[in-house]
Chain A
Amino acid sequence: MKNTDIQKYFKEVDDIVSQCDRCGTCLTVCPLFGVKDIESSSARGKNNIARGMIQGVVKPSAEVLDIVNFCLLCRTCVDNCPSKVKTDNAMIVIRQYFAEKNGSPGIKYKALGGLMKNRTLVKFSAGTLKILRKIGMNTLIPHGMAPSEFTRKQYLSSFAGPAALGSLAATSPIDLSNKSKVAYFKGCGMGMMFPDAVEGTLAILRTLTEPQIIDNMCCGLPHLAHGLRSDFLDMAKENISLFEKADVIVSDCASCSGTLKHIAAHFTDDPAWQERAAAFSRKIMGISEYLFQVGYKPQHRVDVKMTFHEPCHLGRGQGVRKQPRQLLTAAGKFIEMAGADNCCGGAGSFHIDYPAIAQSILDKKRINIENSGAHIVVSECPTCLVQLNKAAVQSGNKFKVMHISQVI
């Protein structure tokens, strides 16, 4: 890597981390520090190892990269920090720096990035999982990456009785005649692991409009998060072009909608793409955000206690908090659980890289779900759903896990 590149990365990081006053507020909220209470787990620890590296006090070593990788990017620290230091952004830039310094982000992330950049492979994986589910072999896939999806049909037959099954989707009061053109952005995780939820999203959208189905690229978050920035930018450009005709782009994955909303920030110094990226980002909406805005009324109300696990990229990432809760209040007996916005430990591939730590974080989540007394825990992110499915099994199936598009 050229010296000027290093300077560029270091300046970008330093602008963020030099704002850290080292007070220690983040120690009390960081989910990782909560299960592994050594300084380097915390946001303060990470920001300051970055500072130490920039100032030459510590060498940029594999150990430093380990510390930088050991971050959920959940933004709990950012939300609570008196100076709002964007630790997640700093970690992403340092990961990028290391990927370029080492010539690669490492075999694992490169393989993952390669898979998710390839539409055929993503579809192929989804197909394989479908077959595995059919023959009941999905539970053999490690890390819960092949969860048994609890479908809307199963949900209604379990909790609402068979009568509910035949009921038609209620028409939304929204005037559909001169509607803006709505496109659906299909996230890789949703497509691969939660096809019933994807169907649910599309069915709901069809009650309101005729959604454009576009064969989109991955949102690029896995690439951005692990030092594959140029792949991220390539896919972003392709997505921007693919969706140019849409007025609203709806995603049922909080990580996708969160990432896509922020795409504009990555093109600010690229005159050719700057405006197109900004226009693209402005069109993005999460499914519950969109449905709330258009005044969607859930298709059925079921007498079942449900709670909401707020994905990091939805609440802290996009400020979407009340919308899913209000939709759920209309769809069932909504109960707010303690620590609903605490990270579940999934965080992209974090739960695969650090299974024991992710499990400790998930245990706290499971206890909160159990204590809420909810029969259904609802979320809006496939990685969260994977984690929550593990928690459901560990709780002896005291609760079911569903995507919001399956219950409203």
Chain B
Amino acid sequence: MIADEIKLKIRDIVGSENVLDSNVDCFGYSYDSSFVPMSAENIPDLVVIPSTTKEVSAVMAIANQYGIPVTPRGTASGRTGGCIPIRGGISLALHRMTQIIELDERNMMITVEAGVRTIDVYNFCAEKGLFFPPDPASWKYSTIGGNVGENAGGMRAVKYGVTSNYVMGLEVVLADGSIINTGGKAIKNVTGYNLTQLFTGSEGTLGVITKAILRLIPMPKVRNTMQLMFPSLDNACNTIHKMLISGVVPAAAELMDKISLQAVAKHRKLDINPSIEACIVLEIDGETNEDLQEQAKKIQITANEFDVIEVRIAASQQEVDDIWAIRRGLSSAIGAMAPNRFGEDISVPRDAFPETVRLIRRIAEKNKLTIAVYGHAGDGNIHPSVLCDLSKPGEEQQVHDAIDEIFAAALSVGGTLSGEHGIGITKRPHIAKALGEAGVNTLKMVKQVFDPNGILNPGKIW
């Protein structure tokens, strides 16, 4: 509960039309895109929608003074419950901070407020021939603040890296309301600790990110898409490894297993050759069409070495869209296969991809569950989807066991719990296994320094 006089102070700061406190309005801020069940306990006491850094700062000062939990939120497209206010308090919705402050073409950097949608950053830069590569699946609706807070990845990571590779500097409001600026436009910068990278991926637990300076690269002139079908997962993975080692780096290398393919086939009423065990969708880019043809040729030669069944090189934009529609429609297609679905986000060394998928197969058999596997094969980020029906007695336990085992499998091959979704609430129970007790304690010590009263997004990560 937040006392009325505190609410009044907050209303004075942001304007009363930008504060919601009815139960049904606040309910809308109690969930995200994860599978965390709905609960009355997750409903914030107050939703505050600031428009400026100054407002964020003043709200934080009050929250800190009265010890009110504050959970920052972009558009709640996160997959691990990161923006769910599990201790109540304030849901700080930043989606109205949508100013693009500056596009510095000579330095190839853009400065934006936290609430700008990722696709808007991309489009704004693209108009000037500049490229902001990170493209998490949610990029059409996620905010850049959320992407930085979670250090989101995406399909282009294999060639271009993840969000953190593009964050040059941040404006952050600390727990007590003070405003700091980290990093900047200087490419070489060793003045003090690298706080920019510390805040990136901190899941709203260390400060509220209000602005970001992002690095850009020149936009590739041409792009094309390829689809390759293989008789085994190993052959598909081996093709990717050999390609990368030989210097052919695709802009995206997405892999789907047979179950995923069957889901898409069913959803889109397609016929797929039953001998196909794995499918790779590649995006290639470059300077000229000859450049693309050269890459496609090299890829085809490599794929042939690994008994590729089918190679499709898109000949038109329509074909490009058709191929990507299969990959983009995957999540919904898999979701439609069962009443409940638990999507995970483990990340392993690239070479361990096939081994990890084999381990996941065994886990599925052991727990009598269907687990569809797809992911970013180029960077070792795997999305196993456990399909289930929680209304069946005993199934919930099997699912939990399977997920525990999937995490153990990832760690056993030298991988980790999350590649791009963050830890949030859903992976919290597993973090000690990944980082060790001393590792978790180190995180806690960092948190203590930035947020001594523990008001920023409490109850997350560990």
A contacts, CB < 8 Å to B:
18-19, 21-25, 27-28, 37-40, 45, 48-49, 51-52, 55, 57-58, 61, 63-64, 67, 82-83
Contacts and interface: CB of A to CB of B under 8 A. Distances in A.
Contact of A64 (B24, B138, B336): B24
Contact of A48 (B28, B96, B138, B336): B28
A51 B76 CA distance: 17
Nearest to B329: A82
Contact of B28 (A18, A40, A61): A40
Given A22-B31, A23-B77, A57 B38 contact: yes
Contacts of B31: 22, 48
Given A28-B141, A83-B336, A57 B33 contact: no
B317 interface: no
Contacts of B23: 58, 63
Contacts of B43: 57
B427 interface: no
Nearest to A28: B141
B40 A57 contact: yes
B39 interface: yes
Contact of A38 (B20, B32, B332): B20
A381 to B, nearest CB: 29
B403 to A, nearest CB: 18
Contacts of B75: 24, 27
B27 A23 contact: no
A40 to B, nearest CB: 5
Contact of A23 (B22, B47, B96, B138): B138
A171 B25 CA distance: 58
A201 B317 CA distance: 41
B366 interface: no
Given A21-B33, A57-B38, A83 B332 contact: yes
In the A-B complex, list the 8 residue pairs whose CB atoms are closest, starting with the nearest: A39-B28, A24-B141, A24-B77, A63-B24, A82-B332, A22-B33, A45-B28, A83-B332
Contacts of B142: 24
A24 B138 contact: yes
B32 A49 contact: no
B140 interface: yes
A39 B32 contact: no
26 contacts: A18-B339, A19-B336, A22-B76, A24-B76, A24-B138, A24-B141, A37-B95, A38-B47, A39-B76, A40-B24, A40-B25, A45-B28, A48-B31, A49-B24, A51-B38, A52-B38, A57-B38, A57-B43, A58-B27, A63-B23, A63-B24, A64-B24, A82-B328, A82-B329, A82-B331, A83-B335
Contacts of B160: none
B29 interface: yes
A21 B23 CA distance: 22
B117 interface: yes
A236 to B, nearest CB: 31
Contacts of B30: 57
A27 B141 contact: yes
Given A21-B33, A23-B141, A40-B25, 7 more contacts: A19-B335, A19-B336, A21-B332, A23-B138, A39-B76, A48-B28, A49-B27
Nearest to B330: A82
Contacts of A61: 24
Nearest to A22: B33
B33 A23 contact: yes
A21 B339 CA distance: 12
A383 B33 CA distance: 36
Contacts of B49: 38
A83 B263 CA distance: 13
Contacts of A21: 33, 331-332, 335
